[in-house]
Amino acid sequence: MAYDKFTILTSTAVPLPTENVDTDQIIPARFLKATEREGFGDNLFRDWRYDVEGNPKKDFVLNDPTYTGKILVAGKNFGSGSSREHAVWALYDYGFRCVVSSFFADIFKNNCLNIGVLPVTVSPEFADKLLSAIEENPNTQIEVNLPKQKITLLSTGDSESFDINDYKKANMQNGFDDIDYLLNMSLEIDAFVETR
Amino acid sequence: MEKTTLFDKIWDAHVVKSVPAGPDVFFIDKHFIHEVTSPVAFLNLEKRGIGVKYPHRTIATPDHNVPTVDQDQTIKDKLSRMQVEKLRHNCAKYGIELHDLGSAHHGIVHVIGPELGVTQPGMTIVCGDSHTSTHGAFGAIAFGIGTSEVEMVLATQCIMQSKPKKMRISVEGELGNGVTSKDIILYIISKISAAGATGYFVEYAGSAIRSLSMEARMTICNMSIEMGARGGLIAPDETTFEFLKGKQYAPKGEEWDQAVAHWKTLKTDEGAVFDKELTFDASDIEPMITYGTNPGMGIKVKDSIPTTEGMEGSNKKSYLKSLDYMGFQPGEPIKGKQVDYVFVGSCTNGRIEDIRAVAQFVKGRKKADNITAWIVPGSREVEKLAHEEGLVKILEEAGFELRQPGCSACLAMNDDKIPSGKYAVSTSNRNFEGRQGPGARTMLASPLTVAAVAVTGRITDPREVFDN
């Protein structure tokens, strides 16, 4: 369904430098049994966040009040594995609107764009810069400017531009989704089927 | 004429329209759905007040969360039951073909599609499941999608997709004894890493690939996603046609001949250019096993776990975190490690050929006392054949527990969970933390290696047991 519009997001960020974080970690399969899109944020990173008794694990970043914000700065190859969109629903439901990484898994990236969570791919060097800045000062503000396709570390002014295709960019800025587009193409799709 | 790849031929034939500076409006021939990733898509259709555009192009089966015992009874787990009931309701409401629990063709969606002959060369196939790449074994473009895209396909039979880059992976030469297609794909992923094919669609080629059965080809295409590829495909040939002939949904009579004539044109032109080409020597491939928490962390059974030499920063940290989870040390041999569970099943290796391989191996042998051995057929059809061929008797005599079809312990959504801290050697596709249950430690291997582990109770090279 159509989602919130995304233009410029300025926020502190949560660091998660672990590499190859798969969608089973973002939301374990046993929490996929809902028939509605609600409440997934509670189980975001469930097994890294809570022990078997359900007590918060102190050493996991989401349990550390030092780090908060709408941006997740993640390690390389984030979102690999299962195609479960629930992983993005969980990130969104928890409050994240943007994930930054030097490398995303394909399906996860598509799912993000379809839900309205902006995936921002940066160079490994810029990712390291962000992580060090957050570590040094957890109140570090990061600006993600979609119209300008630019991510900026406000404390130093360091910035980098990022890619997104014009179609998806317009969708994110206007809060449209692909179905709106496809439904408008109904006649063209029918004509295509006729030729087959 | 321009030289094109098999992938280009199929992709380009399914583009309804290319959006300028955007993705393609991509037409989908067949859509598989299951109980876990479809309910929210149907819910959204209702919210929008729209229906399913081409219901006969979608086929459903419950597989991910279903119990593998007492399938004739009401599902005990309330949430699982609700998801399955929702699937039944949605299929009835929109006129979608459902292969329900207990029916002749119930099973894992990627096992029943080919079994029914729904999967055919040249098609575009999607499903809300990343292992949809399995169907690429037939020379189809098949890949996993998210729930928003499931909704798009239901509503319009199209999705918006940017065309991936193309990679060809050739495996040339003859495979050694005791080396299977699972070893080929685990070997490839170990060489290029769990992200090595991200952004690409892979064509598998070469003499070693051509020599494989359809079941074995499906195992390879199935795990394309485990190196990050959107999907993988293999050009159709006589092996493909032989497999499909006579299947329920395969063309019949004159239509069959026409279809085969068309399918024979589905191959990469000589001289067509790929964005990336890799070639591997089949004789270098030996029985493989994973030791870490992503499928790229694989080694030959005879080798030692890699040391941290040359690693630094978050790379080294992530590596050590992974080994710590597994309870392993860098540099130690993997062979001889004690194992608690073996699991034979899943869309990777839950087909009849896999069950035959295990049965043949354990015939006249017994599983080790420390091993709990689960065998979960990929479908009712596989289960039926296993009974008819006497495989079930052999396996039960060896101490294996045969369960009913479903995804089962591959992702442990149902009760089939490996207990925390225990070691499982599995024929499935993912060794992620907690994949087979919270705290479970998974090692991926071929059905033959799993059979050898079941018998010895330890990590074993199957070729060493053959010789005895």
Query: Which of A31-35, B54-58, B193-197, B377-381 is predicted with the least confidence, judged by mean pLDDT?
Result: A31-35
Longest dimension (CA), chain B: 66
How confident is the model at residue B1, as a pLDDT?
Answer: 75
Residue whose C-alpha is closest to residue A140's, from A158, A122, A163, A164: A158
Mean pLDDT of chain B: 97
How confident is the model at residue A3, as a pLDDT?
Answer: 74
Residue whose C-alpha is closest to residue B419's, from B439, B391, B446: B439
In the predicted model, what is the mean pLDDT of residues B38-65?
A: 97
How confident is the model at residue B39, as a pLDDT?
Answer: 97
Question: What is chain A's pLDDT, residue by residue, as a tens digit (196 residues)?
Answer: 557 899 999 999 999 999 999 999 999 999 999 999 989 999 999 999 999 999 999 999 999 999 999 999 999 999 999 999 999 999 999 999 999 999 999 999 999 999 999 999 999 999 999 999 999 999 999 999 999 999 999 999 999 999 999 999 999 999 988 998 999 999 999 999 999 8
CA distance B53 to A183: 10
| Contact between chains at B412 and A30 (C-beta distance less than 8 A) | yes
How confident is the model at residue A2, as a pLDDT?
Answer: 57
| Interface contacts A/B by beta carbons within 8 Å | 197
CA distance B447 to B449: 6
Do B436 and B417 contact (CB within 8 A), yes or no?
yes
In the predicted model, what is the mean pLDDT of residues B317-332?
A: 97
Which residues, numbered 20 to 39 in chain B, qualify as contacts with chain A under a Cβ-Cβ cut-off of 8 Å?
A: 20-23, 25, 27, 36-37, 39
B468 pLDDT exceeds 70?
A: no
Note the CATH architecture for domain A8-194. Answer: Alpha-Beta Barrel (3.20)
How confident is the model at residue B451, as a pLDDT?
Answer: 98
Residue whose C-alpha is closest to residue A116's, from A142, A141, A140, A95: A95
To the question of whether residue B221 is assigned a binding role by annotation, the answer is: no
Q: Tell me the pLDDT tens digit for each residue of B243-296.
A: 999 999 999 999 999 999 999 999 999 999 999 999 999 999 999 999 999 999
Q: Tell me the pLDDT tens digit for each residue of B144-170.
A: 999 999 999 999 999 999 999 999 999
Ordered DSSP codes for B245-270:
TT-TTS--HHHHHHHHHHHTT-SPPT
What residues are paired with B171 via a beta bridge? Answer: B280
Question: In terms of C-beta distances under 8 Å and separation of at least 24 residues, what long-range contacts does A59-68 make, across chains too?
Answer: A61/A14, A61/A15, A61/A16, A62/A14, A62/A94, A66/A138, A67/A12, A67/A13, A67/A14, A67/A15, A67/A134, A67/A138, A68/A12, A68/A14
How confident is the model at residue A112, as a pLDDT?
Answer: 97
How confident is the model at residue A182, as a pLDDT?
Answer: 96
Do A26 and A85 contact (CB within 8 A), yes or no?
no
In the predicted model, what is the mean pLDDT of residues B425-445?
A: 98
CA distance A169 to A146: 7
Q: How far is B195 from chain A (nearest CA, A)?
A: 7
B467 pLDDT exceeds 80?
A: no
B317 has a chain A CB within 8 A of its CB: yes
Q: What are phi and psi of A127, to 5 degrees?
A: -60, -45
| Contact between chains at A52 and B420 (C-beta distance less than 8 A) | yes
Query: Which of A59, A85, A180 to substitute to test the interface with B, most B CBs within 10 Å?
Result: A85
Ordered DSSP codes for B396-417:
HHTTPEE--SSSGGGTT-SS--
Q: Tell me the pLDDT tens digit for each residue of B206-237.
A: 999 999 999 999 999 999 999 999 999 999 99
CA distance A37 to A32: 10
Check if the interface score ipTM surpasses 0.90: yes
| Contact between chains at A189 and B16 (C-beta distance less than 8 A) | yes
In the predicted model, what is the mean pLDDT of residues B235-242?
A: 98
Could you give the domains of chain B?
Answer: 6-276 (3.30.499.10), 287-466 (3.30.499.10)
Tokens of residue A127, six digits: 């990712």
| Contact between chains at A36 and B39 (C-beta distance less than 8 A) | yes
